[in-house]
């Protein structure tokens, strides 16, 4: 646990030190959302109808934008090899790094989402479900992204390959995240969609670190 917390603190300190890079994902999220009313027009009904989909697509792309800093910098300066030689299994190293990534990327997106949802004229009744769905969905995005980031370690122009690997796996999260918010706004129950997101999160917490840890071992050999 001490080694796990040490890696978590280190990655959070690095994220805070690289303030511009850390805020890039949130800035991209905000700019993307604010551009949509200019593109589709200011009609409140149109904005309300597309609000949940726009928010989720922007959040997905924002997380994708930040995935390259999960392992690549540590791999380039040799830190990842030193961490791999430490007492903590690589699977727990991955989990610590994913948690740091979510705290520095996913959590700010969740905090910014309600304000941007109101900008898109989303009904207030949909905001609690939006927050809950993003709280369940954004960790899945980080966990799946860790697999792609580990698979592309050391690959030239790995960002393009990372996108090709990760984006198809993000689609179920996008579908059920949007469906939960739309169901809440329509007066239907959002509970089934939220339960599916929770059911996706549970195995991701176990399987994603295993897959990413195995990929890192291959990259270090």
- Pairwise CA distance, residues 70 & 154, whole Å: 13
Full-model pTM? 0.89
- Pairwise CA distance, residues 45 & 159, whole Å: 37
The two tokens of residue 151 are 């698979």
Q: How many CB atoms lie within 10 A of CB 34?
A: 12
Q: What is the pLDDT of residue 157?
A: 67
The beta-strand segments (E) located in the chain are none
Q: What is the mean pLDDT of the chain?
A: 86
Q: How many CB atoms lie within 10 A of CB 150?
A: 26
By residue count, the chain amounts to: 221
pLDDT tens digits along 127-165: 999 999 999 999 999 999 999 888 888 776 666 788 888
Q: What is the pLDDT of residue 5?
A: 84
Q: What is the pLDDT of residue 43?
A: 81
Average confidence (pLDDT) over 40-50: 82
Q: Where are the domains of the chain?
A: 2-220
Our CA angle for 165, 170, 173, nearest 5°, is: 165
């Amino acid at each position: 646990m001490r080694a796990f917390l040490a890696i978590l603190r280190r990655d959070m300190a690095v994220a805070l030190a690289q303030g511009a890079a850390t805020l890039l994902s949130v800035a991209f999220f905000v700019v993307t959302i604010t551009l949509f009313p200019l593109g589709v027009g200011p009609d409140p009904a149109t904005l309300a109808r597309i609000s949940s989909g726009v928010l989720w697509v922007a959040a997905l792309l924002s997380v994708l934008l930040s995935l390259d800093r999960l392992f690549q910098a540590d791999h380039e300066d040799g830190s990842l090899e030193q961490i791999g030689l430490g007492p903590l299994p690589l699977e727990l190293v991955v989990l610590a790094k994913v948690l740091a990534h979510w705290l520095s990327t996913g959590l700010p997106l969740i905090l910014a989402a309600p304000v941007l949802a109101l900008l898109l004229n989303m009904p207030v009744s949909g905001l609690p479900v939006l927050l809950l769905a993003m709280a369940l969905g954004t960790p899945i995005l980080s966990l799946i992204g860790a697999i792609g980031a580990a698979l592309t370690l050391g690959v030239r122009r790995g960002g393009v390959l990372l996108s090709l690997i990760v984006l198809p796996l993000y689609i179920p999260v996008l579908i059920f995240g949007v469906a939960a918010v739309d169901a809440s706004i329509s007066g239907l129950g959002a509970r089934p969609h939220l339960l599916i997101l929770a059911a996706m999160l549970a195995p991701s917490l176990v399987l994603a670190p295993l897959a990413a840890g195995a990929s890192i071992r291959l990259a270090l050999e």
